[in-house]
Amino acid sequence: MSSLATLYPQHLTVLQQRLESALAAHGFDALAVAAGEEKFAFLDDRPYGFQINPHFVHWLPLPQAIGSWLLLQPGAKPRLLYLQAEDYWHAPPATPSGYWTEQVEVEVLRTPELLQTRLQALLPARCAQIAERDAQLDVAGTPNPEGLLAHLHFERGMKTPYELQLMRAASQRAALGHLAAKAAFEAGGAEADIHAAYLAGSDQAERELPYGNIVGLGAHGAVLHWQFQDKQAPATPTSLLIDAGASCQGYAADITRTWLHPEGRGEAARRFAALWQGMETLELALVDQVRAGTDYPAIHLDAHQRIASLLLDAGLVHGLSAEAAVAQGLSSAFFPHGIGHLLGAQVHDVAGLQIDRQGTRRERPAGHPYLRLTRRLEPGMVVTIEPGLYFIPLLLRELQAGPLAGHVDWAAVETLQPFGGIRIEDDVACRAEGAPENLTRDAFGRLQA
């Protein structure tokens, strides 16, 4: 497998070609990209966790380059204006080093004022800048031109071999965390304990996570984005749903696993285990559909068909076909979100509903408002596949009050509610030919070999 040092120059060549095409199409001679600024709590000097501009980290593996700028021009090396402020309150950022620096012109500046002056001197008249509002500098350049952004966002969907290598590394890191979290769960840990085990296992600080971990024991697994971490474990252990990721030089892994506690006994645990096995089987079948030319919404709709069939086979739903259960919205009560999204320098990567460089949108299928991706799959795309089956009190109440209530075995559903739900999520790369690359399963496979 090629090293990052070998892959990075190839990555820059691809990005440079995309940039030159985009600048020419939209009438610009250069592009300035801000890394971003720290943000602070209201009436306080405590900063929130810094989030890098994804356009910046797309070019440079510097996810903590606060206040820095990147200047991009046709026919020239990327130029990094790196802010390394002298400060006795905090340690200054490290001087850039590593495999990528030979490919980039690096200038170190000690104050924001010096950086702004230098950037002003370098920018041509017809320049665009990509920066959030509070990072934009008073320099020549059109901020965030819509057409240019659409052009660049569309092409970011196709990952280079360098990006794929970073995402494999992020998947490996996340898989280590998931195995540590599973062990903590089986040892009787509370959600806070499981979260701490994940951080230790994946060798990440909280601030390094690409998104806040979802660690739901039992019924908490029915809250899709359960945002708390209880410090007390349930008296009766049932299940764990953990959605937790990792980062590698700005690129994300996004993995979900659901586990039944080994002490689970009785009819409800048996039913839940059977549902879990059914979800595992159908998730892998959906993963296999990540192939060049496949219409991603078709995978989402097939997930509904398969989940409806699983509900029928399990006896939770009866008296109508899987097709009718989907058409009439019954499957959505158990699977209310989309099957997945693009993944890369952002967890929910951009341009999921954009089908060309001009920014043309393709809307979601009717009745499926939460699908994040409506494009046809192309080689290099990395997507998540994350079917779910949940027992969500709000949606179950609505279902029970509606015309389809008679098609549900409510007694069986009630016994399963303490288990919350099941979500299984893999990160999958589309190849030019043949079966996809499952970054997640490959990472677990290497660790468990």
DSSP state letters, 263-331: T--HHHHHHHHHHHHHHHHHHHHHHTT--TT-BHHHHHHHHHHHHHHHHHHTTSB-SS-HHHHHHTTHH
Of all residues in the chain, what percent carry a pLDDT higher than 90? 92
- Phi and psi at 61, nearest 5°, equal -80, 65
With a cut of 60, say whether residue 1 has pLDDT above it.
Answer: no
pTM: 0.96
pLDDT at position 86: 84
Among 112, 145, 108, residue whose Cα is nearest residue 126: 145
Q: Give the β-pairing of 30-34 and 127-130.
A: parallel
SS3 426: strand
User: Is 308 in contact with 402 (CB distance < 8 Å)?
Assistant: no
What average pLDDT does range 227-243 have in this prediction? 95
Looking at the DSSP assignment, which residues form a beta bridge with residue 241? 216, 258
Whole-number Å distance between alpha carbons of 408 and 319: 9
How many other C-beta atoms lie within 10 A of the C-beta of residue 362?
A: 17
With a cut of 90, say whether residue 428 has pLDDT above it.
Answer: yes
Q: 80 falls in which pLDDT band (50, 70, 90)?
A: very high
User: Is 30 in contact with 23 (CB distance < 8 Å)?
Assistant: yes
Average of per-residue pLDDT values in the chain: 96
Residue with tokens 């304990």: 193
Q: 92 falls in which pLDDT band (50, 70, 90)?
A: confident
Greatest Cα pair distance, the chain, in angstroms, is 73
With a cut of 90, say whether residue 303 has pLDDT above it.
Answer: yes
Alpha helices for 106-222 (secondary structure H)? 112-122, 146-156, 161-186, 191-202
With a cut of 80, say whether residue 449 has pLDDT above it.
Answer: no
How many other C-beta atoms lie within 10 A of the C-beta of residue 448?
A: 8
pLDDT at position 138: 66
Whole-number Å distance between alpha carbons of 100 and 7: 10
With a cut of 80, say whether residue 397 has pLDDT above it.
Answer: yes
Q: What is the pLDDT of residues 356-393, one digit of tens each?
A: 999 999 999 999 999 999 999 999 999 999 999 999 99
| CB within 8 Å of 308: residues ≥ 6 apart | 317, 322, 323, 325, 326, 330, 331
pLDDT at position 375: 98
Of all residues in the chain, what percent carry a pLDDT higher than 70? 98
What average pLDDT does range 84-106 have in this prediction? 92
Whole-number Å distance between alpha carbons of 34 and 29: 17
Q: What is the pLDDT of residues 266-282, one digit of tens each?
A: 999 999 999 999 999 99
pLDDT at position 243: 98
pLDDT at position 342: 98
Stated length of the chain? 449
Q: What is the pLDDT of residues 21-38, one digit of tens each?
A: 999 999 999 999 999 999
With a cut of 60, say whether residue 197 has pLDDT above it.
Answer: yes
Whole-number Å distance between alpha carbons of 30 and 72: 6
What average pLDDT does range 348-352 have in this prediction? 97
User: Is 80 in contact with 104 (CB distance < 8 Å)?
Assistant: yes
pLDDT at position 142: 85
With a cut of 70, say whether residue 73 has pLDDT above it.
Answer: yes
Q: 134 falls in which pLDDT band (50, 70, 90)?
A: confident
pLDDT at position 393: 98
Q: Tell me, what DSSP letter sits at residue 218? A: G
- H/E segment holding residue 244: strand 239-248
Q: 87 falls in which pLDDT band (50, 70, 90)?
A: confident
What average pLDDT does range 171-194 have in this prediction? 98
pLDDT at position 338: 98
Q: 88 falls in which pLDDT band (50, 70, 90)?
A: confident
pLDDT at position 133: 82
Q: What is the pLDDT of residues 312-337, one digit of tens each?
A: 999 999 999 999 999 999 999 999 99
